Each structure stands twice: as C-alpha cells, then as structure tokens.
Amino acid sequence: MKDSGIADAAAELVASAEAPQLPWWMKVTRWRPTSKEEAVHAERGILNLLRSKWQVEDVPVGPGPEQYMHTLTNSSSSGNEPVKGPAMVLMPGYGAGSGFFFRNLDGLARVFNLFAVDWLGTGLSGRPPFTAQDRPATEDFFLESLNTWRKEQGLDSFILVGHSLGGYLAASYALRHPEQVQHLVLVGPAGIPTKPEGWESRFATDSWSLRSQLFKLAAHAWGSGITPFSLIRALGPWGPGLVGKYVTGRFSMHGMPLEPAESSTFRDYFYHIAAARGSGEYALRHILAPGAWAHAPLQERLAELKVPVTFIYGEHDWMQPAAGQALADKLDQIRPRKVASDHRVEIVSDSGHFVFLEQPQAFNAALLRSMESYLPHGLAAEAAAQEEQVLRVKQEQLVQQLRQRQQERQAGEQQKEQQQQQPASDRG
C-alpha cells in the first residue's frame, strides 16, 4: 500500500506550475537545453491540462539509483470519482512517455483504476546504462522491471495496453506472465508481420544509386545503435526547434489537431524526454531490424498467447492494420474467443499511428467497448457514448473554425481585389 502522505505531497507537486530554478552557469554553458528538473516541470504542464487529479511516483524496480519507473496514477484518494473498473496500465511506444496519453486520461480515469507508466530507460523513468546485447536480454530489461513494478503496486492482474514498440513488449509480457494480464490491448503494435523474403533487395542493389547508398547508411546507423534521439541531443540548442517542427507537422495530419495550449506544452514535454540521456532507446536494434521488421515476429509467437487480445489501429497506421487482422484471423482458427472482444480488430477512422492522440475520444470509445466484459453492466456503453458526444462537439467546433478561417480568407482576397481595381489616384 502507498503512503497517503507521499501521495498527497505528489499531488501538490503536480499542481505547482513554478518553473525550475537552474544555476545561471548551467543555462549559459550547457549544450543541450534540458535537465531532469525541466522535464518534470514539462510533465506538470501536461497534467495541468487535465480535469482529473494525478499522483506522480517513481517506483523502485532495482537497487541502483536509476532503477525506477515513472508512474502516473488516478485513484479516489487523489480526488477523482470512485474507481468502478479494474486496473488498466498504459505503456507508451518507442521514445515516448506516459504524457503521450494526456488526451485519454480524463475519459479513462472515470472508469478504470488507471496507471500510465514509462518503460525503464525511457520517458521520466530512470536511465540506467543499457548493456543488453541480444533480444532475450533486451526483453528481460523491460519485462522484469515491469513485473517488479507490478509487485510494488500490489497488482495481481491488470488490463495491459501497449502502443507501437510498447505493444510488442506488452505482448511479450503477456506471453511470459499470462496469469497477471486480464486482457492485452495492442495499439498499432510493432513487430507483428514477418519480413518478406528479399525485402532489402529493393534498396541494397549492386549498382550504385542514391537510394541504395541511403539505405546502407541507415542500416549501418541502425546496427550501430544510432537513434533519432542521438540526433536531437547532438543538435544541442537547435534540438527543441526540430522537435517543435515534428510535433506541429506530425500531429496536424489526421483527426483532431492539437489545440495551441496542448501543442506548446506537448512540444516542451516531448523535447525534454527525447533529449535526456540515452538508455532504453538503444534496445531498438535488438528487437527490430531495419524497416521495423521484428527479429521474433509476433505473428509467430502469439499462437501461444493464453490471454484475450484486442487490436486497435488508426485507419492510416503505417504499422499495417492488415497484419493485425491476419493475426486475429489466425487466432480464431486455433483457439476459441475467451470474451466477446478477444481477437477483435478496431480501426479508428481519420487517424494514423498515434491514434490515441489524433482521435482521443474515438480511441477511448473503442477501448471502453472492448473492455465491456470487465465492467459493470452498461458502464462501457455509457462511458463510450459520453466520449462520442464530446467528439461530436469538438468536430462541430472544428468545422466552425475552418468555415470562419475560410470566410476571413475570402474576405481578405475580395478586399485585395477591390484595392487593385481602384484607380491609382483613389489609392493614393
């Protein structure tokens, strides 16, 4: 059991919005404009966007000073409504943090005993040296620390939701510890299909070409452990600008664009967790080959899965929704469905790989309906309907904003035409 005094203090810490006071010499001399204090402050900014209250805790998962997993928790003790459903654990994808779920937390916290957790070596979790040299040791790094976290939280079992590479790891955890996972939810999971034979031949040809050289360079960087976050760190003071451009462009492609306050706060948070010391990010090459093909594809491994599984994809997810559907069809052939949503594949329209960020209400509704078997009768449908009502209101507001911008643009063009048609003497 957690100490209530610690929990209350953590809640008060989250509520504080004061910027960290860094020594002047650190601000002047450092190459990367980031620090743990600034990352924590950026997360507070994310949490201040929410209606619900959250406890923040670094849960120890080992003896070393960097062996802890950063955790956001909702509960009745933090001032929320009493929890009605089971425990649900949200695990982010590669290079992400629990703050990536900020648009989903309010809706899901009304129903579940909700945890959003950073994998060891990522986000705001501890950053121990990453020493694994193969896939089994890499999976041990993540899965055993998550199991220790579970014990520290006193959870016998929970619904496990993993996104992208976090989905691959969540599936691996369910294979290793099936008795602890009530239901597995894979959101745009990495590593499902097997690599097509001769896939590299499209790029690595004998003849010289720019395409083949770029592929060889990228493959070498991948195998050497160079990551996108290495570039962000190397850019130093230009790193925040690169992250800002990525966030602005990437999260305006589909669905419900980030609002100005959300965008600026999220950019700050994303930069600070991306620019932190490298650790868990170096696991990528041991799990996936260039092209994001898994060394041990889930298509082959999940035939042994003993727990119910649901897949959720964005309509335009580059992680191939068809691969999830093919796996679900395969599971239908080899085992009976344990609950109604077992082997279900949910496709959320007008969204990509970050479906929960791009279409938060539609994602929440799909997730809630998939968890109907674990909730009191009618609660899933009621909560999903509330999410969909919020979505309709936001869509109407977005349409109105677009119409207003179009009208303003047309009015500006008409005014410009009228000015051009006036005689020069009148304009003077």
Separation of alpha carbons 109 and 251, rounded Å = 24
Nearest-angstrom CA–CA distance, 347 and 362? 10
Residue with tokens 């937390």: 105
Backbone angles phi, psi at 202, to 5 degrees: -70, -20
Any idea what DSSP says for residue 179?
Answer: G
Helix axes 360-370, 102-109, angle to 10 degrees: 40
Q: Residue 168 corresponds to which tokens in the numbers above?
A: 């691959």
Integer Cα distance of 407 and 401 in angstroms: 10
**Contacts of residue 141, Cβ cutoff 8 Å, sequence gap at least 6:** 120, 121, 130, 132, 280, 283
Q: What is the CA radius of gyration of the chain?
A: 23
Q: What is the dihedral of CA 343, 344, 348, 351, to 10 degrees?
A: 0
User: Whole-angstrom Cα distance, residue 70 to residue 39?
Assistant: 12
Q: Which amino acid is at 158?
A: F
CA–CA gap between residue 321 and residue 328 (Å, rounded): 11
Residues with catalytic roles: 164, 317, 353
Contact 114, 185 (CB under 8 A): no
